Amino acid sequence: MDPRSKYPKPELHGGDQEPPGSTAAMPDRPDHGEESYRGSDKLAGRKAIITGGDSGIGRAVAIAYAREGADVLISYLPEEEDDARDTAQFIEKAGRRAVTVPGDITDEAHCRAIVDRALADLGGLDILVNNAAYQMAQPGGISDITDEQFDRVMKTNLYAMFWLCRAAVPHMPPGATIINTASIQAYQSSSALLDYATTKGGIVAFTKALAEDLADQGIRVNAVAPGPIWTPLIPATMPDEKVKKFGGDTPLGRAGQPAELASAYVYFASPESSYTTGEVLGITGGKPVS
């Protein structure tokens, strides 16, 4: 299939939304692989945490992991409960255990509680996917970024990743994996997303440093760097004129869909990537990550 026309080109309609956004409110729904992803037991018996697992990339990864044989805990904000329940149903339809944990990962105690729930309800932890993120575009640049916004972006995107990893690592066996979600913004940073881009650059550095730190424990750490991907976060946090053009500036001429990233997260979580750690895989529609 021609990748340029596999999914619609701009403009996509995401609805009139406030953060964090809702899948159900999007007239043009993202594809999470609900009908297309086919598993082959690559993650049979594994136990996974996925933050931001209610919608978008997180939902696509949760569906793929479940169909590959993993039990899955998803964390999400309480206001995302409806999306989370939908995701849990897909996990359960695949015959796997779904654990839903609402709460705010900007709270260190909640991050510890997520890991504790995985250990108690799943019986262990083999895969940690740090996917949840917050952004809010500010076309005016640095002068429009408040201390409150900057603090929220840093704590959601960086602090929580650190807290979750610190809590999880002592319980992860050799062969376990950590997968972080970086972004094209780490490499092609936008002034309107200055704070968000800063955190995504930090995630790349964190991934590489943690990979070196944990290699002697047999725990691998990698990252996926998405380009413009159509999720509820986009209409909820970007100006309408940007949403209308979203993804149109990529070489493939369109936004990516969450389903197009799921296999990358499966690869990094599976034994197929056993000799890969400290790497960043860009899935960007042709935009360079270097």
**Are 41 and 266 in contact, with CB atoms under 8 Å apart?**
no
**Are 181 and 224 in contact, with CB atoms under 8 Å apart?**
yes
Which of these, 283, 289, 285, lies nearest to 61 by C-alpha position?
A: 283
Upper half-sphere CA count for residue 263 (Cβ side, 13 Å): 10
Q: How many helices (H) and strands (E) does the chain have?
A: 9, 7
| Catalytic annotation, pick one of 37, 196, 265, 275 | 196
The Cα 54–Cα 74 span in angstroms is: 7
Q: How far is C-alpha 191 from the chain's CA centre?
A: 22
Known active-site residue 196 = yes
Q: Which residues contact 271 (CB under 8 A, 6 or more apart)?
A: 42, 175
The Cα 170–Cα 149 span in angstroms is: 32
Active site residues: 196
